[in-house]
Amino acid sequence: MYRIVAPGGETSVAVNPPALPSERLQPTAMETAGIEREPLPAANWNLWRWLILLAIAALWLEWWLYYSARERQRAAEVQASPEEPPLACGDREIEERERSEFRNPNFVGR
């Protein structure tokens, strides 16, 4: 007997465990048979190949549009100021250093 104490009162419950089986169970041939394998579905490689090629093409197109727009913007800037020669990479670094020298040294910023 189990005694259960709850806020609404006390209850007793009889618990009788079931008896163990007296005979040993023998599995049938179907129960002991191995699991049959299912055939694997055919992989649709053509679809994946096309999706991968499409993704590569989209990435290349995005890259090309981004950098061609930047080059068009640079070309427009050069045409807007034809008296200034285009700067080489080293010249740009020197110009940036010269610009930073004219900045207020008391100003802290990035």
The reply to whether 77 falls in a domain is yes
Query: From the CB of residue 12, how many other CB atoms can be counted at a distance below 10 Å?
Result: 8
At residue 54 the predicted structure's pLDDT band, cuts being 50, 70 and 90, is very high
Domain of 78, in residue numbers: 49-82
Is the pLDDT assigned to residue 88 strictly greater than 70? no
The reply to whether 72 falls in a domain is yes
13: helix, strand or coil: strand
Do 15 and 1 meet the contact criterion of CB atoms below 8 Å apart? yes
Domain count, the chain: 1
The reply to whether 59 falls in a domain is yes
**Distance between CA atoms of 78 and 96, rounded to whole angstroms?**
18
At residue 55 the predicted structure's pLDDT band, cuts being 50, 70 and 90, is very high
At residue 48 the predicted structure's pLDDT band, cuts being 50, 70 and 90, is confident
pTM for the model stands at 0.33
